[in-house]
């Protein structure tokens, strides 16, 4: 069975991002997938310092908890990144982890390596925003997530966005939890979805 790596990007455990992610993971778990969930806030992840070691060696020079996450990134098939919207994009803690994936960008775009190029890897992005719905609320996140999934050679399968979480918690929204459970259950079959609730 395929392996799922779930990255939980909010520092608030059991709040909106986490509940949304867990609803998706419950579906995947019921289908039998092996799941590894990382709470980014519990990991010691230093910021990328732009030293360009990875631009030459293809590896990161910093020795911290990213070593474990690189291992999961190397050995998983399906990636779910879940993050809250801060200042119109993913929060800094999530972006910090993405920046540390520069080593994959370097291998792919600079060093010409073939890291996981021909593997069937899939990426799904979940995000919540406290403000009421607006059509471009989440749009600044998409180019970043697109490049992140490209760098790790995962096909960007879909987005699931929830607005207005500062007024109505995801916990109270059974419709959303049911819908995302179904996507989780069918996580290896769903294609090109863009859902905004
Ligand atoms: C520093 C900060 C910036 C935020 N910026 C935005 C924003 O630009 N747009 C938005 O819709 N919500 C924004 N929010 C609200 C969060 O997206 C919202 O509270 C969300 O539910 C947080 O996710 P969590 O409940 O999983 O922690 C911001 C919250 C914080 C703390």
Cα distances (Å, whole numbers) of residue 197 to 23, 177, 179: 15, 11, 10
pLDDT digits (tens, 9 = 90+) for 85-115: 999 999 999 999 999 999 999 999 999 887 7
Structure tokens at 23: 């609803």
Q: Tell me the per-residue pLDDT of 55-75, one tens digit each, with 9 for 90 and over.
A: 999 999 999 999 999 999 999
CA 105 to CA 84: how far, in whole Å?
A: 24
pLDDT interval class at 118 (50, 70, 90): low
Quick check: pTM over 0.95? yes
Ligand 1 within 6 A of CB of 64: no
Protein residue whose Cα sits closest to atom 17 of ligand 1: 129
DSSP assignment string, 52-83: -HHHHHSS----STHHHHHHHHHS-SEEEEEE
Run of H or E including 125: strand 122-128
CB 179 within 8 Å of CB 23: no
Rounded to the nearest whole angstrom, what is the distance from the C-alpha of residue 33 to the centroid of ligand 1? 30
């Amino acid at each position: 069975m395929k392996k799922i790596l779930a990255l939980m990007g909010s520092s608030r455990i059991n709040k909106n991002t986490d509940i949304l992610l867990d609803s998706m993971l419950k579906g995947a778990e019921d289908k039998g997938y092996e799941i590894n969930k990382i709470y980014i806030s519990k990991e010691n992840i230093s910021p990328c310092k732009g030293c360009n070691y990875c631009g030459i060696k293809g590896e990161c020079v910093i020795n911290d908890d990213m070593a474990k996450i690189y291992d999961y990134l190397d050995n998983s098939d399906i990636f779910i990144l879940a993050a809250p919207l801060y200042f119109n994009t993913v929060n800094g803690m999530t972006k910090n982890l993405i920046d540390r994936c520069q080593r994959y960008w370097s291998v792919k775009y600079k060093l010409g390596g073939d890291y996981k190029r021909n593997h069937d890897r899939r990426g799904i992005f979940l995000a919540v925003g406290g403000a009421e719905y607006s059509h471009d609320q989440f749009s600044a996140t998409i180019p970043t997530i697109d490049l992140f999934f490209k760098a790790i050679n995962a096909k960007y399968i879909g987005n699931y966005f929830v607005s207005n979480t500062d007024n109505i918690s995801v916990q109270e929204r059974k419709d959303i939890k049911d819908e995302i459970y179904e996507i989780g259950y069918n996580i290896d079959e769903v294609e090109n979805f863009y859902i905004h609730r």
